[in-house]
Amino acid sequence: MLLSKSCVYGLRAALYLAAKKNGEYHSLREMSEELEISFHFLTKILQQLTADGLMESYKGPNGGVRLSRKGGNATLFDMVIAIDGPGLFTQCALGLPGCGSQEPCPLHESWVDTRSSIENMLKKTSLTKIAEEGKEKHFRLTADGQFSW
């Protein structure tokens, strides 16, 4: 798997918030139900994202989470880094330490190419752009496609 489940859930939640745009707080309960993600698990994941400054939260009635300024301008890459860390973009095809820093292997060139094609794709894709396209084209965020933007 390219991305961990935590990461995928985090992305879905971030897209959810980006689509609602207006900087309102949305409760985790609401999000977990609409996105069909375990409430407590989602809580954990979004805690990471708020700790990382990509989201901000507010406690109490009508509280919830929303994208921070930083989060609103973020790309998929930023989200992936915040949750899965940089491993995907630094680690080596053969699991050897120090990719590229020592004598390379024949895989190196092709590997580094595809690795940065992943990286570039994630970097050029901003949350808000995706969310807008998502609303236009009615893409789904849930397995059953029941989620409406």
Partner DNA sequence: AAATTAAAAGACAAATTACTCTTAAATATT
Partner DNA sequence: AATATTTAAGAGTAATTTGTCTTTTAATTT
| Residue 104 touching ligand SF4 (CB under 6 A) | yes
User: Contacts with a second copy in 23-82 (CB under 8 A)?
Assistant: 76
Q: Which does 100 bind (CB under 5 to 8 A by kind): DNA, ligand SF4, a second copy, none?
A: ligand SF4
Q: Which does 121 bind (CB under 5 to 8 A by kind): DNA, a second copy, ligand SF4, none?
A: a second copy
For residue 66, give the DSSP letter.
Answer: E
Q: Which of 47, 52, 105, 135 binds DNA (CB under 7 A)?
A: 47
Q: Please, what is the minimum distance in Å from the beta carbon of residue 128 to ligand SF4?
A: 17
d(CA 109, CA 94): 13
88, 118 Cβ separation under 8 angstroms: yes
| Residue 111 touching ligand SF4 (CB under 6 A) | yes
Q: Please, what is the minimum distance in Å from the beta carbon of residue 67 to ligand SF4?
A: 20
Q: How many CB atoms are closer than 10 A to CB 42?
A: 22
d(CA 103, CA 98): 10
Cα–Cα distance list, 19 to 93, 110, 127 (Å): 36, 36, 9
Q: Which does 61 bind (CB under 5 to 8 A by kind): DNA, a second copy, ligand SF4, none?
A: DNA
